[in-house]
A and B are shown apart, each in its own frame.
Chain A
């Protein structure tokens, strides 16, 4: 495995957009070439080495054999791993918005927190977050009918609002609570929430949402009794009936 380490040279106040930090882009380039890639700090176009130091293995490799390690504070660096198809990115700390945008394959592992729009329009691959994630995990772009279509996102902490909005496929697991409107307008996919959720599955057409904590359930969900799941007893609902939806919503405890 070819490993490349990228470190910010300083703290960023202005967000940096660095969609070039991706195994697909790095794989065939030498370190020198990587240093010359385009990144943006606000409205200033920079080369990567203006903002980041690059070290590690200098010999080009396949995308699959490329591993990028991000050391230092990346919490204001956006679009890491955008559209990546293979390889690995490991983020030592936290990562900024839009990590894994449109990701097709490979692995992004975030040891800290992830910001908003993690795995937006994701199609394949795996994203793991040891900390928590912001709003719109696995969602779509505004106005689009489909968000995440495939792949897996695993969050060990909690997640913000609009988790998996417009989800059409793939799976998302959140160990803790999620914010408002998880899985709204979803048309497929599987969401598992370890904690609580507020109005999950609004306008869900199809798909599955499991809430292992407490869920505030919409009045447009029909109760289907109780089921056993992984040793838990969960209340089952189907909906969202305002959209003639056939989605499944399970919750350990329910408020309505």
Chain B
């Protein structure tokens, strides 16, 4: 059986045209997906059964034992951190937020280690964006800033941006200009008409310089800005102004460097300024396929998109104080639940150290370093392959993920429902 138009549960591109061939509930081939998506959909080794740590070692347990143990950990905690959510569907997010309310925890997503600064930038300025199809149909200039889609979003260029074709962009790449701004040459920069190489941590100054040029104040600027010549910057500004529809796509090069959310803040202003000259939109190149979805669900449920502290029964949002790395880094959490993410690999090791001396619950299909540090491990079905549900693409468009094969494992949503049930039962027992 061939399942058509399957959605890819890997990156924020959320490609929805994948063909998956299934025989006897086994995936036998995956077509149209990139290397990243194909690998994820084809699948690999799984955590076989729930594990619970006893006398220092993880040993096999039943799901019921694991649920109760997880619930007890959460109930005992004064500041439980519920973290992850990027690689699962929105139906799980809803249950996770409800659980966080019930146990009065802090809920945060992987956004706080990727595009969290982008969200804080948006809080300062708003975001002048569009759906990806708008870029495909109209953009004659693509600016990729601190982004390397050739490695991180392999089908982005063909489907949505530099090489895509649409109503006003019939010539595809030939009819477009591409500017890449980065600290190093990459496979992405090789596709550029103009590669602006800058020094790490100087993005803010470069953006301010471009804004100066666009405002006609180039003559008040120094001849070089952070090592880049004014002439080079003027060339970039001219290309931006000359576009009929420009699009600034930015990646972790902006959010992970010195300046962090201020870089985004300034980039958003640059795009707002550009709209006095021509049409320009901006978008964050979100990483995991549904990290955007968590932000959306969390915003409509709590009012805030990430890093929400529900300790006092009210939502309180303040990244820098209430984000996962803040809390773990300062050793403020006394329990952690990780769902569909791997903080042990993706946080700085000094932060991960904070997971070693508190009880950790992991819900995930796959073994990873977070498993090494977990006290309860609950294997789940792979969302988007074995479970259907909602995901939000990097541009905020929501789509329904398909179920392609049956799974012997429960979904993340069901696991959290069960933990929630245990929490309520154990609390009533006391």
Contacts and interface: CB of A to CB of B under 8 A. Distances in A.
Q: How large, as a class, is the contact surface on chain A?
A: 20 to 34
A42 B124 contact: no
Interface string B128-157: 000000000000000000000000000000
B334 A13 contact: yes
Interface residues on B, range: 35 or more
A42 B123 contact: no
Interface centre among A43, A76, A218 (most CB of B within 10 A): A43
Interface in B3-17: none
Contacts of B318: 141-142
B204 interface: yes
Interface in A166-201: 180-181, 184-185, 199
Contacts, number: 93
A143 interface: yes
A181 B262 contact: yes
A45 B314 CA distance: 13
Interface in B261-309: 262, 266, 269, 273
A43 B321 contact: no
Contacts of B312: 17, 40, 43, 45
A141 B317 CA distance: 10
Interface in A44-67: 44-45
Contacts of B334: 13-14, 42
A250 interface: no
Contacts of A141: 318
A1 interface: no
A156 B74 CA distance: 42
Contacts of B262: 180-181, 184, 202
A219 B225 contact: yes
A15 B124 CA distance: 28
Contacts of B220: 222, 241
B397 interface: no
Contacts of B221: 219-220
Given A142-B120, A241-B212, A43 B204 contact: no
**Best-buried of B212, B266, B317 by chain A (most CB within 10 Å):** B212
A97 B330 CA distance: 12
Contacts of A41: 78
B259 interface: yes
A44 B311 CA distance: 8
Interface of A: 13-15, 17, 40-45, 76, 97, 116-117, 135-136, 141-143, 180-181, 184-185, 199, 202-203, 218-220, 222, 240-242, 256
27 contacts: A13-B331, A13-B332, A15-B332, A40-B311, A40-B312, A41-B78, A42-B79, A42-B311, A43-B77, A43-B78, A43-B103, A43-B105, A43-B311, A97-B321, A116-B321, A136-B320, A142-B120, A142-B317, A142-B318, A199-B259, A218-B208, A219-B221, A219-B225, A220-B211, A220-B217, A241-B212, A242-B273
